[in-house]
Copies of this chain bind each other. A is one copy, B any other.
């Protein structure tokens, strides 16, 4: 399965904060932490747990640059 999204940042689930409709998942990657807000359904469906190896998927059009 290939995805057109240009950015897949590998890392490990560090913390999960469950919410009523959306949840926060913090991923530790080589350079620091990335926070994702995804549906709580997705957390359950992917059976995400701290320690899981995952990738953070980000579309290139969703990346801004700060200089």
Instruction: Give A residues with C-beta under 8 Å from B.
Output: 1-11, 17-25, 27, 29-32, 34-39, 41-43, 45-46, 48, 52-67
Which chain B positions have C-beta within 8 A of A45?
Answer: 2
Which chain B positions have C-beta within 8 A of A18?
Answer: 21
Which chain B positions have C-beta within 8 A of A55?
Answer: 65-66
Min Cβ gap A33→B in Å is 8
Contact B54 A66 (CB under 8 A): yes
Min Cβ gap A15→B in Å is 11
Residue on B nearest A42 in the bound complex, by CB: B4
Which chain B positions have C-beta within 8 A of A46?
Answer: 2, 4, 65, 67
